[in-house]
Amino acid sequence: MESVQAIKQRFGIIGNDISLNRAIEKAIRVSPTDISVLVTGESGVGKESIPKIIHQLSHRKHSKYIAVNCGAIPEGTIDSELFGHEKGAFTGATQSRNGYFEVADGGTIFLDEVGELPLTTQVRLLRILENGEFIKVGSSKVQKTDVRIVAATNSNMFDAIKKEKFREDLYYRLSTVEIHLPALRQRKEDIHLLFRKFASDFAIKYKMPTIRLSDDATSMIIKYRWNGNIRQLRNVAEQISVLEQTRLISTETLKNYLPNMGSNLPAVVRRTKSDGDFSTEREILYKVLFDMKRDLNDLKKLTMELMENGNTKDVQKDNEGLIRKIYRGEDDMDKEDDEILAITQQSTPLVSIAEPKDKYHFVEDIEEEETLSLHDKELELIKKSLERHKGKRKLAAAELGISERTLYRKIKQFDL
């Protein structure tokens, strides 16, 4: 059996912390078996090396190793990606396709961010774990596969189970053995070592002398919280290597690269999102999806009315606001969205994305709360502004930061 030290060298893992060594030792021990492993730890702690070690030290090493980021695949296509689909299974399925579980037969699949799997996919995964059986999307034929599963998560799975976003039975199946990687702040001894290693790597990469930290700066990186763990440390080392001219780095310089420096209090993690705050690409996509969903609902309502009443003047009049909203021009749309955002920025957060009531009604719930809250807030602001300016639209529009034309439309829309 290879030693922990040899594995660290082979996989480029830096650090001598005892809990890191224990995690690697556990990976070595479990690798010859087919036991499912769940790797846990904060973002950026190095979870991705563990499944690679397990695969390489197993009898499966000559078969495929496939890493799947479950959080990055849209809910609508994940079943087809993982389990494959038959020709004609859905619009656009012009060919049948083998999923990862079929392709990796005899090998290992790494399911990263497993907590993000939709509930329906979780059911299929449970079946694979129980007896190796799966069914392609759009097929009725049961197929067999022999795949070892290693999963990883940086989120609290018990929380997800409590909120019924993750199946408890699947969690226990996946985590027969759990390997936990410590946060960087819990391996203080490794921080400077890692920094020196990264500084030296970047010096070679960018053909520059290696940066060094002053004694005070060294103490500073050891005390820092490193919420983004090794990934953040690596980025900081790279930025300083490239951007700083002086190679001896003082605390003054270092501070510029460490967010929230000067406070060792835990950084505030915002659980609620406001309309104007998109910290990740996924959130932007959610926003686009919510908007599309809202438009779709509006269109459905309009179509239904047209079917029931025909294209009468009354339908048009009753739905004036809707029609304008759906069919307004692109320019107008951008402008209006900007304006809505400008108004809501002063408002309280709209929805808590972290706590949907029911997985299946997630999109619907948010959409309704969001619409209500937006309109109420807007309405209230417009009313107050008009009162303050004794009905003078020009002044109210200027105060609200919107054009007079938009204000006029809103007055009509809200029947003010």
Ligand X SMILES: Nc1ncnc2c1ncn2[C@@H]1O[C@H](COP(=O)(O)OP(=O)(O)OP(=O)(O)O)[C@@H](O)[C@H]1O
Q: Using CA atoms, how far apart are residues 416 and 414, in angstroms rounded to an integer?
A: 5
Q: Using CA atoms, how far apart are residues 40 and 37, in angstroms rounded to an integer?
A: 10
Q: Using CA atoms, how far apart are residues 15 and 234, in angstroms rounded to an integer?
A: 14
Q: 72 or 304, CB closer to Mg ion? A: 72
Q: Using CA atoms, how far apart are residues 56 and 28, in angstroms rounded to an integer?
A: 10
Site for ligand X in 196-215 (CB under 6 A): none
Site for Mg ion in 32-71 (CB under 5 A): 48
Per rule CB under 6 A, count of chain residues that contact ligand X: 16
Q: Using CA atoms, how far apart are residues 324 and 84, in angstroms rounded to an integer?
A: 42
Q: Using CA atoms, how far apart are residues 57 and 214, in angstroms rounded to an integer?
A: 41
Indicate which of ligand X, Mg ion, none lies near residue 118 (CB less than 5 to 8 Å, by partner kind): none
Q: Which of 6, 9, 16, 48 touches ligand X by CB under 6 A? A: 48
Q: Does 46 bind ligand X (CB under 6 A)?
A: yes
Indicate which of Mg ion, ligand X, none lies near residue 231 (CB less than 5 to 8 Å, by partner kind): ligand X
Indicate which of ligand X, Mg ion, none lies near residue 154 (CB less than 5 to 8 Å, by partner kind): ligand X
Indicate which of Mg ion, ligand X, none lies near residue 203 (CB less than 5 to 8 Å, by partner kind): none
Specify burial of residue 152 (Cβ count, 10 A radius: 0-12, 13-18, 19+). buried
Q: 39 or 78, CB closer to Mg ion? A: 39
Q: Does 182 bind ligand X (CB under 6 A)?
A: no
Least distance between Mg ion and beta carbon 411 (Å): 51
Least distance between Mg ion and beta carbon 48 (Å): 5
Asked if residue 222 lies in contact with residue 264, where contact means CB atoms within 8 angstroms, the answer is no
CA distances from 236 to 75, 190, 207, 226 (A): 34, 16, 18, 10
The bridge status of strand 212-213 relative to strand 177-180 is unpaired
Q: 117 or 340, CB closer to ligand X? A: 117
The half-sphere exposure of 396 on its side-chain side, counting CA atoms within 13 A, is 23
Q: 211 or 340, CB closer to ligand X? A: 211
Q: Using CA atoms, how far apart are residues 124 and 376, in angstroms rounded to an integer?
A: 42
Q: Using CA atoms, how far apart are residues 1 and 49, in angstroms rounded to an integer?
A: 18
Q: Does 277 bind ligand X (CB under 6 A)?
A: no
Residue nearest to ligand X (CB): 46
Cβ atoms within 10 A of the Cβ of 367, count? Answer: 19
Q: Which of 7, 24, 199, 230 touches ligand X by CB under 6 A? A: 230
Q: Show the tokens assigned to 20.
A: 């890191």
Q: Using CA atoms, how far apart are residues 134 and 127, in angstroms rounded to an integer?
A: 7
Q: Does 43 bind ligand X (CB under 6 A)?
A: yes
Distance of CA 97 to the CA centre of its chain: 27
Indicate which of ligand X, Mg ion, none lies near residue 84 (CB less than 5 to 8 Å, by partner kind): none
Q: Please enumerate in sequence order all residues whose Cβ is within 8 A of that of 129, keeping only pairs 6 or more positions apart, or say none.
A: 36, 149, 170, 173, 174
Q: 48 or 178, CB closer to Mg ion? A: 48
Q: Does 38 bind ligand X (CB under 6 A)?
A: no
Q: 72 or 285, CB closer to ligand X? A: 72
* E-state strands within 113-252: 133-135, 142-144, 148-153, 177-180, 212-213, 248-249
Q: Which of 108, 154, 385, 413 touches ligand X by CB under 6 A? A: 154
Q: 230 or 240, CB closer to ligand X? A: 230
Q: Using CA atoms, how far apart are residues 181 and 50, in angstroms rounded to an integer?
A: 9
Q: Which of 7, 23, 26, 44 touches ligand X by CB under 6 A? A: 44
Q: 15 or 99, CB closer to ligand X? A: 15
Q: Please enumerate in sequence order all residues whose Cβ is within 8 A of that of 406, keeping only pairs 6 or more positions apart, or say none.
A: 335, 336, 339, 397
Indicate which of ligand X, Mg ion, none lies near residue 366 (CB less than 5 to 8 Å, by partner kind): none
Q: Which of 7, 15, 36, 273 touches ligand X by CB under 6 A? A: 15
Least distance between ligand X and beta carbon 251 (Å): 24
Least distance between ligand X and beta carbon 136 (Å): 29
Interface mask (CB under 6 A) for ligand X, residues 320-339, using x and -? --------------------
Least distance between ligand X and beta carbon 11 (Å): 9
Least distance between ligand X and beta carbon 149 (Å): 16
Residue numbers at the binding site for ligand X (CB under 6 A):
12-15, 41, 43-49, 154, 230-231, 234
Residue numbers at the binding site for Mg ion (CB under 5 A):
48
